[in-house]
């Protein structure tokens, strides 16, 4: 049980997250009726509706951050338990992100004008992306993780005109100039 415990918790958290999101009215899959493992168009109406999309990379970065914070704050805890804590934190974010309050905030303050929240499949994909980010950061070490974090932010800014840090900035301190830039104006 000791070795299986963290993995059982991860599974239980993902299951509980799916049911909580369904209780919040989230759809299992895209209302378009199709399932795609990857959607590369950040401006599509199906963004946040399919398993993975360009924003999945921001959730990989969540995993980087959680890995670093948990290694620093709980260094004696086995890495598998820290991974379970990271997935719990990400799942809590997914539930909060899909509340009417946050969905409305995204619409008001970011370039995500038509954002309607995530499908359950997308939220679970985001949790998986976070876990993969945690595992990658654990493997890379601090310096390489920071370099990959910065590189990912830069690539996302050029690719989709958004990134984890820009998203956080726009939620906390919205800027009309940044919003216009994000919209391509």
Residue 1 lies in a domain: no
| Residue 90 belongs to a domain | yes
* Residue 30 C-alpha from the chain's centroid: 17
Residue 167 has pLDDT above 70, yes or no: yes
Annotate 83-137 with three-state secondary structure: HHHHHHHHHHHHHHHCCHHHHHHHHHHCCCCCCCCCCHHHHHHHHHHHHHHHHHH
In a domain, 25, yes or no: no
Task: Return mean pLDDT, the chain.
Answer: 94
Q: Looking at the domain assignment, is residue 102 inside a domain? A: yes
Please indicate, yes or no, if residue 61 is contained in any of the structural domains: yes
**Amino acid 110: pLDDT:** 72
Q: What is the model's pLDDT at position 10?
A: 98
Query: Does residue 29 contact residue 99 with C-beta atoms inside 8 Å?
Result: no
* Tens digit of each residue's pLDDT (9 = 90 or more) over 4-41: 999 999 999 999 999 999 999 999 999 999 999 999 99
Element (H, E) at 170: helix 164-172
Q: Is 40 part of any domain?
A: no
Domain ranges, residue 131: 50-182
Give the integer Cα–Cα distance in Å for 166 and 16.
Answer: 30
89 domain-assigned? yes
Quote the pTM value.
Answer: 0.94
Count up the domains in the chain and report the number: 1
Distance of CA 68 to the CA centre of its chain: 16
Q: Does residue 120 fall inside a structural domain?
A: yes
What pLDDT does residue 149 have? Answer: 99
Strand partners, 52: 38
Section 62-67 average pLDDT: 99
> For residues 122 and 45, which has the higher predicted lDDT (pLDDT)?
122
So what's the pLDDT on residue 185? 53
């Amino acid at each position: 049980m000791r070795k299986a415990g963290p993995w059982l918790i991860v599974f239980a958290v993902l299951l509980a997250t799916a049911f909580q999101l369904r209780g919040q009215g989230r759809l299992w899959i895209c209302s378009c009726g199709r399932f795609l493992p990857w959607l590369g168009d950040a401006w599509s109406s199906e963004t946040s509706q399919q398993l993975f999309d360009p924003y999945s990379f921001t959730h990989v970065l969540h995993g980087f951050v959680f890995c670093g914070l948990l290694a620093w704050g709980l260094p004696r805890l086995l890495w598998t338990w820290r991974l379970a804590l990271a997935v719990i934190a990400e799942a809590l974010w997914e539930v909060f992100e899909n509340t009417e309050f946050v969905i409305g905030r995204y619409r008001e303050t970011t370039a995500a004008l038509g954002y309607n929240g995530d499908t359950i499949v997308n939220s679970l994909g985001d949790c998986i992306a976070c876990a993969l980010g945690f595992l990658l950061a654990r493997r890379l070490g601090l310096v390489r993780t920071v370099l990959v974090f910065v590189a990912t932010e830069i690539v996302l800014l050029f690719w989709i005109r958004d990134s984890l840090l820009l998203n956080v900035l726009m939620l906390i301190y919205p800027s009309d100039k940044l919003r216009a830039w994000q919209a391509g104006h």
